[in-house]
Structure 1
Amino acid sequence: MSETRFVEYGAKWTALLYGPLFAVAGYLVELATGATHTVAWVLVGLGLAAITAPWIQARRRFLTVRVTTTELVQGRESLPLKEIAEVDDVGAPTGARVLGGGWSAPRKYDELPIRLDDDSVVLAWARDVTALRAALKQS
């Protein structure tokens, strides 16, 4: 089994609590001002949690970055570490392939050009590119 050196999830499951917490806050405001609509606030909390769950699952599937002792995983794509030749001072040529299957790096993610052993350059991405580079250099 390969050891995980670096992991960055696209979203955390704690985001699932935002909707119910909003509903509790709304209920408390109503409680302080008079009549309350308990069933309505329960439905609001459940509804917001229900629409948040697929969003979290999608972000975790497509935006998770993981480096193990054997591979770099970007979204649904994996790259064996033995194919990585260099991660320092690699220029990103125009039109370099982005790992993970997108046209560009996801919003709010920084790019890390990686030179492969066949001398091609691909773009990895992460929120913390410095930690990703350090994890890739351990191999």
Structure 2
Amino acid sequence: MRDDTVLFTEPGARWRVVAYGPALCAIILILEVATSSPVHWFALIFCGALIAGFVSLQVVAGRRHVSVELADDTLREGTETLPLSAIDAVLPERDEESWDDEDWESARALGELSGVPRRRTGIGLRLRDGGLVQAWARDHRGLRAALTAALAQRPAQTEDRQGENGADR
């Protein structure tokens, strides 16, 4: 089985953020010890563990539902995977000076979320069946460039493979 080359990736969330809450509690603990004030051992350890637990749930959800990966043959947005062969074109960016919305801006966002996730920007895609969808990423320009390059490298596909007389082969 051939491994696909990853052309673009965004993890959705990073594990390092789990350490921020416990690190803050450790700083407070050090300050309490240094200033000879009463040390709240139990409260600080409990709060650090509680914060780390809740943030790790958010990281797991972010990595599952808001991650993006573009490979040679597929585009994965959250839990939805779209084969590149289903994409006809990457549509141009929204004109910021235009008063009108682009058609793709009201199209369904890829993934199982109800729309483009917060702090992400949509990218219009026209599918081979004529439909419109939105891909999305934080680095939308990077995804757009990688997706455009990946689509340009794929072999040209003809929809109708007919002979000279019009008969199917």
TM-score, structure 1 as length reference: 0.92
Asked if 1:104 corresponds to 2:115, the answer is: yes
Counterpart residue number, 2:144: 133
Task: State the one-letter code of the partner of 2:136.
Answer: W
Contact 1:114 1:123 in 2 (8 A): yes
Which structure has more relative contact order (CA 8 Å, sep 6+)? It is 1
Asked if 1:38 corresponds to 2:49, the answer is: no
Measured against aligned partners, the alpha-carbon deviations of 1:19-68 in whole angstroms (never above 9, x if no partner) come to 11111111022113322122332222112111111111001100001101
Q: 1:84 & 1:45 partners in 2: Cα distance? A: 46
Contact 1:10 1:59 in 2 (8 A): yes
SS of structure 1 residue aligned to 2:126: strand
Measured against aligned partners, the alpha-carbon deviations of 1:70-114 in whole angstroms (never above 9, x if no partner) come to 100000101001111111427434641110122220111101001
Contact 1:92 1:123 in 2 (8 A): no
Q: Write the mapping of 1:106-121 to structure 2, written as runs, cut at 5 A.
A: 106-121=117-132
Asked if 1:18 corresponds to 2:29, the answer is: no
Gaps (5+ residues) in structure 2?
94-101, 151-169
Q: 1:94 & 1:43 partners in 2: Cα distance? A: 45
SS of structure 1 residue aligned to 2:30: helix
Task: State the one-letter code of the partner of 2:4.
Answer: S
SS of structure 2 residue aligned to 1:29: helix
Greater radius of gyration (CA):
2
Q: 2:76 & 2:65 partners in 1: Cα distance? A: 10
Q: 1:89 & 1:37 partners in 2: Cα distance? A: 57
Identity of aligned residues (%): 34
Aligned CA-pair RMSD = 1.6
SS of structure 2 residue aligned to 1:123: strand
Q: 2:104 & 2:140 partners in 1: Cα distance? A: 18
Contact 2:65 2:112 in 1 (8 A): no
Contact 2:121 2:140 in 1 (8 A): yes
Gaps (5+ residues) in structure 1?
none
Counterpart residue number, 2:167: none
CA distance change for structure 1 residues 2 and 94 in 2, over 3 Å: closer, same or farther?
A: closer
TM-score, structure 2 as length reference: 0.76
- What is the CA-CA distance between 1:134 and the residue it aligns to? 1.2
